[in-house]
A and B are shown apart, each in its own frame.
Chain A
Amino acid sequence: MTEEKTLLIEVNGLRKSFGKLEVLRGIDEKIYKGEVVVIIGPSGSGKSTFLRCLNRLEESSGGHIIFEGTDITDPKSDINKLRQKIGMVFQQFNLFNNLSVIDNITIGPIKVKGMSEEAAKEIAIRLLTRVGLLDKIDAFPSQLSGGQKQRIAIVRALAMEPDVMLFDEPTSALDPEMVGEVLDVMKALAADGMTMVVVTHEMGFAKEVGDRVIFIDEGVILEENNPKELFSNPQHPRTQDFLSKVLS
């Protein structure tokens, strides 16, 4: 990023334990506005947990996460208010099964932000058109393919007009032929300047779209760099080992 760098999220000494298991062991990270940060690492490394701490779906066990000047880890912070600004896309899509596509998208703006139904619908139509799914507006999640579900899930998060989007392995539950359509939406989003934090196994996406790639293993950031450097010239032996496995 060459333009002005505005700090959006600052993570200091983030720790997370599940019982005796230490999943995150002190993570420090700064995420700037407009950046696309890709997090890679072996399964069980803590990368998803890190992402879920960023909107407090997981309560951290130590450290601080400052989002737009507010400490998310502070129990007194209004997490529901903060989450409106932090969109999240899940591996399993998690579309609301009891609601149609249009209601999935508008329920947030209407119920949470208090937007009028017309205004919310307008946003939904604009976003659905953008991802090429306007014809599914009245469908129910059970009638959609995985790729369609995930594109709708992205739209649902976008409809809240967030300042950052978190992606938790957004293509891992998809059939191979549907990965492309979801990645295309994400690429377009990145090109629009959306700040994105993406946990993924799609190394191609990381290379092409990422501004920065972070390698996490055993709960710590072992290495981070621009994708070109990290993929062609990894410094840490574990990064080398991991990349040799996933890129071969």
Chain B
Amino acid sequence: MAIYTIFSQYYHYFLRGTKVTVALSFFTVLLGSLLGSILGVMRLSKSKILSGFSKIYVTIIRGTPLLVQLYIVYFQLDFLTYPRVIFFGMDLERSMPCMIALSLNSAAYVAEIIRAGIQAVDKGQGEAARSIGMTPSQAMLTIILPQAIKNILPAIGNEFVTMIKETAVVQYLGVTDLMYNNGIVTTATYNPLPCYYISAIIYLILNLVIGGGINVFERRLRSSD
């Protein structure tokens, strides 16, 4: 019952934090996908330098904790001045370095998604395209990528779900996400356990909703096969 009491009294803290968490995850995945697409295509490039860079990048990001990456980016970029504006409930001055760090992290995972998505397209498709005289980029843009997208988009949706959970680390840099607000309510009520239950339920609902959306979307894509 404590859960209900605390939520009814402090719900606007939780909702405010939820908004920040969703906005932060969304823009992170968006930015991460852009970067990740470049890295993913680089990985498949014939150039050893490009594919090597991409491979090393992915290895480093996947081999170190997000929290450590977050602090490194934050302190490494402390010479930057960020705009002091509120954007989708996010205070950009604090959120920007987090968004950068999270995007750099997400980009590594998206790069792998894109690489795998392209490689999953049957090799014969590219060969057939080349056999009628298409250039490598024509074959990629008109034949391979449109088919790879079907493998890629649902996986990027899952990356969004993952990011929603991962963004919980940004509270350490004072970004007012769900966990940060969870802390405020905990301090105010001296009753942490119900607060964590509330946060857990909110994360779960968010991911169920997004996961459901991805499923519908995935079925739409499949139906054209």
Contact = CB atoms under 8 A, between A and B. Distances in A.
A111 interface: yes
Interface in B91-148: 122, 124-125, 127-135, 138, 142-143, 146-147
Chain A interface size, under 10 / 10 to 19 / 20 to 34 / 35 or more: 20 to 34
B133 A90 contact: no
B124 A90 contact: yes
Given A94-B124, A97-B147, A83 B131 contact: yes
B125 A157 contact: no
25 contacts: A55-B131, A57-B127, A80-B130, A83-B133, A86-B131, A90-B127, A90-B131, A94-B122, A94-B125, A94-B128, A96-B128, A96-B143, A97-B225, A98-B143, A98-B146, A98-B147, A108-B132, A108-B134, A111-B134, A112-B132, A112-B133, A113-B133, A156-B132, A157-B131, A160-B133
Nearest to B144: A98
Nearest to A143: B225
A112 B128 CA distance: 13
B149 to A, nearest CB: 9
B173 to A, nearest CB: 43
Contacts of B131: 55, 57, 83, 86-88, 90, 157
A90 B125 CA distance: 10
A95 B124 CA distance: 9
A186 interface: no
Contacts of A86: 131
A124 to B, nearest CB: 13
B138 A90 contact: no
A11 to B, nearest CB: 18
A92 interface: yes
Contacts of A157: 131-132
Interface of A: 55, 57, 80-84, 86-88, 90, 92-99, 107-108, 111-113, 140, 142, 153, 156-157, 160
Nearest to A105: B132
Nearest to B149: A98
A183 B203 CA distance: 60
A142 B224 CA distance: 9
Nearest to A56: B130
A83 B132 contact: yes
A111 B138 contact: yes
A96 B131 CA distance: 12
A13 B135 CA distance: 28
Given A83-B130, A107-B142, 7 more contacts: A57-B131, A80-B130, A84-B132, A88-B128, A94-B124, A94-B125, A98-B147
Contacts of A112: 132-134, 138
B124 A92 contact: yes
Contact of A57 (B122, B130, B135, B147): B130
A80 B138 CA distance: 11
Most buried by A among B129, B133, B138: B133
Contacts of B129: 96
Contact of B135 (A80, A107, A153): A80
Contacts of B127: 57, 90, 94
B5 to A, nearest CB: 55
A202 B161 CA distance: 53
A129 B128 CA distance: 23
